[in-house]
Amino acid sequence: MRLQPWFTDGWETQETITSKPFNEPIRFRSVVALGSCFARNIARWLDHHGVRNHYDLWDTLYNPFAIEGEFTRLFMPLQWEEHIIEERKNGAMRYRDPWRSWITAPTREELMARNAALDDQARAALREANSIIITYGLSEVWESYGLTNLILNRVPIEADPRDIGVRWASRFATSEEVQRSTASIIDCIRQHVSADIPIIFTLSPVPLKYTSSPYSVEEATTLSKAILAVGMRDVIERAPHVHYFRSYELISRYDLQEQNVWQPDRRHVTASAIDRVAREFLRTCGYLPDEVDQFNEPHFWVPLVGLNGKVVGRSYAS
C-alpha cells in the first residue's frame, strides 16, 4: 500500500503539511458563514477578496445547539418566544433572544419584529449561497432548569445573578448531543436549502475565556474542543457534500512553530494567521496555487482585541 503524502509527512517537518483535498472542488461565489468568531474572520477574508458572503448577518453563535436553533427557526416551527430571557439593566427591563443573544429590545414585540427581519434576510442569503461554512466554538453550555432543549447561546451574563445556579446551570454537552445536533443541522439544510450545497464544518482554535466547571480554563478548553471534534466527525464523514476543514489543527501547528498566531489577549487569532489558514482553505477546496495567489488584496484586517478583552483597533496581515 502506498501511503499518501499527508500521511507520511510527520510532525518533525517545519513546513505546514498540505491538507488532504476535499473529494469535490468548491468555488466560492456566495458564502454563508456562521458560528464562532473564527467563522466570521474566514468569511471576512473572503469578503475582503471579493467573494460575496453574509457573515455580517449574524453575530457569534458559540455552540452547535445555537446554530441548530438558527437553522430550525428559519424553516420549521420553533417556539423561541417561550424562552425569551428577561433582564433588568440600569433599572429598565429588556428582553433577549436565547440563541441570537446579541439581539435585545425594550419590549417583546420589538424583539419579535427584529427577529422577523433577520429571518427574512437569512433565508434570502441561504437561497443565494453556493456554500455554507459552520464553525463550532465550545461545548460548555448553559441551560435552563426544568426546560428541555433550551441550551443558550452563551452564559447569561446580563441575567439576575440570583438566577445563576437556580434558573441557569452550566455543564459540558456530550459528544452524542453534538452528533445529533450536527445531523439535525445537515438535515435541515438538505431539506430546506439545497440537496447538494457544500457544507464545511470547522473547529474554532479560540480557547475559553472562563469556565464554570471545576477545571482550569486550559483543561476546560481541551475537553470542550474534544467533545466537539468527536461529535461532529462521525456525522461529517458519512454525509455527502459535507466536509471538515482543519482550522483548529493549523493554528495549533503555527503556534508550535512560534509563528505570529495570537493577539495580545492570547485568545483571538491575528490577521496574518487568518490569512495563512484561509489560503490553505482554498487549496483544500481545490483551488490551484496560481488561483490562490490571485487573492492578493492588501490591508486585510480583523478586529484587534486587547488584554482587557475589548476591541481596541485593527490587526493587519503582514
Amino acid letter at 147?
Answer: L
Are 305 and 311 contacting, i.e. CB atoms less than 8 angstroms apart?
yes
Buried b (16+ CB within 10 A) or exposed e, 137-148: bbbbbbbbeeee
pTM recorded for the entire structure? 0.89
Q: Give the residue among 232, 318, 303, 293 at the shortest CA–CA distance from 269.
A: 303
Q: Give the residue among 29, 34, 42, 31 at the shortest CA–CA distance from 302.
A: 42
Q: Give the residue among 31, 33, 35, 26 at the shortest CA–CA distance from 53.
A: 31
Are 203 and 248 contacting, i.e. CB atoms less than 8 angstroms apart?
yes
Bridging pattern class, strands 131-136 and 140-144: unpaired
pLDDT at 56: 77
Ramachandran area for residue 30 (φ above 0: left; ψ -120 to 50: alpha; else beta): beta
Provide the H-helix boundaries in the chain: 5-8, 37-48, 64-75, 108-128, 175-192, 217-238, 247-256, 271-284, 289-293
**List of long-range contacts for 260-268, beta carbons under 8 Å, 24+ apart:** 260/318, 263/304, 263/305, 263/315, 264/304, 264/305, 264/306, 264/307, 265/305, 265/306, 265/307, 265/308, 265/309, 267/206, 267/207, 267/209, 267/305, 267/309, 268/37, 268/206, 268/302, 268/303, 268/305
Contacts of 312 (CB under 8 A, 6+ apart): 304, 305, 306
Counting Cβ atoms within 10 Å, is residue 254 exposed (0-12), middle (13-18) or buried (19+)? Answer: buried
CA dist., res. 270 & res. 196, Å (int) = 33
Q: Give the residue among 152, 185, 189 at the shortest CA–CA distance from 62.
A: 152
Cα(first)–Cα(last) distance of the chain, in Å?
Answer: 42
Q: Count CA within 13 A, CB hemisphere, residue 242.
A: 20
Query: Which residues lie across from 33 on neighbouring strands?
Result: 133
Buried b (16+ CB within 10 A) or exposed e, 230-244: ebbbebbeebebbbb
Complete domains list, the chain, with CATH: 22-316 (3.40.50.1110)
- Please give the grid coordinates belonging to residue 282: 482554498
Positions in the chain short of pLDDT 50: 1-3, 11-13, 161, 164-165
pLDDT at 140: 93
Contacts of 40 (CB under 8 A, 6+ apart): 33, 55, 58, 60
Amino acid letter at 115?
Answer: N
Are 25 and 200 contacting, i.e. CB atoms less than 8 angstroms apart?
no
310 DSSP 8-state letter = S
